[in-house]
Amino acid sequence: MASRLKNLSDFSNTEIPSAAPYRFGIVTAEWNAEITNALYQGAYDSLVEHGASEDHIHSYPVPGSFELIAGADVLLNNIANLDAVICLGCVIQGETRHFDFICNAVANGLANVALKHNKPVIFGVLTTDNQQQAIDRAGGKHGNKGVEGAVTAIKMAHLAKSIKI
């Protein structure tokens, strides 16, 4: 298994551009808040660590991961000059197939929002079998999906700027 032996948030062997020129949105689901709060802190701290201005990070909560779709769309429609939106959530398998519907809808919905706005919309949603897998990926042994989302947002914002020039 890919994540069995490594920290998925280890970017020590990759070059990460400065985040200073860019404006970011962060939408965070409130379901499984003890997990998503850790994802958010990882994302926020990573953006600042790489040079983003705190005034250029626009953070909003939504009820659940399904609402990340509308949340990302609202931010891109109403906050000027966003370079990327990071969407953070944690969907944990329950007794029914609801998990499957939420996960598929969120992945497809966020991709559609990105295409609609021609802006990077980062899928920072944990989709786990159980709570422990989520803990392991929200600052545990397998890293922090929020950190991964922030680095991805910085790289994609830099890419867009590079191509436009």
Ligand X SMILES: Nc1c(NC[C@H](O)[C@H](O)[C@H](O)CO)[nH]c(=O)[nH]c1=O
Which residues of this protein are in contact with ligand LTPLIIQW, per CB under 6 A?
A: 91-92, 94-96, 98-99, 102
- The length of the chain is 165
For residue 28, the minimal CB distance to ligand LTPLIIQW (Å) is 17
- Three-state secondary structure call for residue 25: strand
For residue 73, the minimal CB distance to ligand LTPLIIQW (Å) is 21
Compute the C-alpha angle 67/68/69, nearest 5°. Answer: 85
Please choose, out of 41-49, 59-67, 78-86, 114-122, the segment that lies near ligand X by the rule CB under 6 A.
59-67
Residue in 107, 25, 97 with CA at minimum distance from that of residue 65: 107
> Is residue 67 a known part of a binding site?
yes
What secondary structure does DSSP assign to 72-101, as a single string? Answer: HHHHHHHSTT--EEEEEEEEE--SSTHHHH
Q: Is 20 in the site for ligand X (CB under 6 A)?
A: no
Please choose, out of 14-22, 58-66, 130-138, 145-153, the segment that lies near ligand X by the rule CB under 6 A.
58-66
Catalytic residue check, 98: yes
How many angstroms separate the CA atoms of 135 and 129, rounded? 11
Annotated binding site for 5-amino-6-(D-ribitylamino)uracil: 31, 65-67, 90-92, 123
Catalytic residues: 98
